[in-house]
Copies of this chain bind each other. A is one copy, B any other.
């Protein structure tokens, strides 16, 4: 899944280049490319489908020269994860009658790649043998309020049955979740076999299932895109979590620990990144800092930032926008983007 806009990282990420397409850490590979690299250890490149917005088609083909254009599934409009996954499932169904499927966002960070691959293999074994929906739950390393949590049932086996999915908690609740050991971060990475997810769509999102079934003669033909372009906008805007996972009977969580972050916020990026002696995180650019602590500085490569007496700020620049705001107020960035769009009619979005 590579269709997100990543506006929380504005101006570092932009509509024309959201965060999955950015080389966040200056490694030379974008988050999408790193995700692709990771899964090539598990499945052949030809079995990887990228679902994204139609406007990112060329960017994806540029970044992933190993895939063919028909492996990029193009959404004409954004409808959240349920229609996105339904599209991929129906495309696979038109090609084969049995398959084990991994669904993953393309803009997450995974630090322990070997542990991740082992986990994915365990998950594939499980969904090969079980007609259950499986999600990866991450053992919390802190009482994070930025993630949804999954509560597991009793027992010690892994995977374990999911008890409940919960929304992002407040700070006190996050502390309780963290201490009990019954709660895991909802990673948004799913595994299932083709039959099980197809059946789940038919049961829990029959309207969506019907819409995609109607195109069964068009998948893998030159009529596919026209069909999708016409039908897709009529799909409900709904997440796979809300539409299926929270409602289905047989939902399991595979608990794991592989240095995961959804990189959803500057805060999570700050937490994960290497820091200098004064707890500053510097991404890509050069810096000279005086009396400055706990900042995250993200300027284009080859830029020099000279910063004095600044503490706890995000300083991010990309193209024609410079953002300076408190790390503790980063949730206001969406408002800043909206204000900028309104004031400058999209010139800086």
Residues of A within 8 A of B (CB): 11, 286, 288, 290, 299, 302-310, 313, 315, 317, 320-326, 329, 332, 336, 339-340, 343-344, 347-348
Contacts and interface: CB of A to CB of B under 8 A. Distances in A.
A325 B307 contact: yes
A308 B326 contact: yes
Contacts of A305: 321-324
Contacts of A344: 286, 304
Contact of A320 (B304, B324, B332, B340): B304
Nearest to A312: B309
Nearest to A315: B324
Contact of A288 (B288, B299, B308, B340): B340
Contact of A302 (B304, B320, B326, B343): B320
Nearest to A302: B320
Contacts of A343: 288
Work out how many copies of this chain go into the complex. 2
Nearest to A319: B303
Contacts of A307: 323-325
B286 A336 contact: no
A331 to B, nearest CB: 11
A288 to B, nearest CB: 6
Contacts of A336: 288, 290, 306, 308
Contacts of A11: 306
Closest 9 A/B residue pairs (Cβ): A308-B325, A304-B348, A307-B324, A305-B322, A304-B321, A306-B323, A306-B336, A309-B326, A303-B320
Nearest to A300: B320
A315 B307 CA distance: 9
Nearest to A335: B290
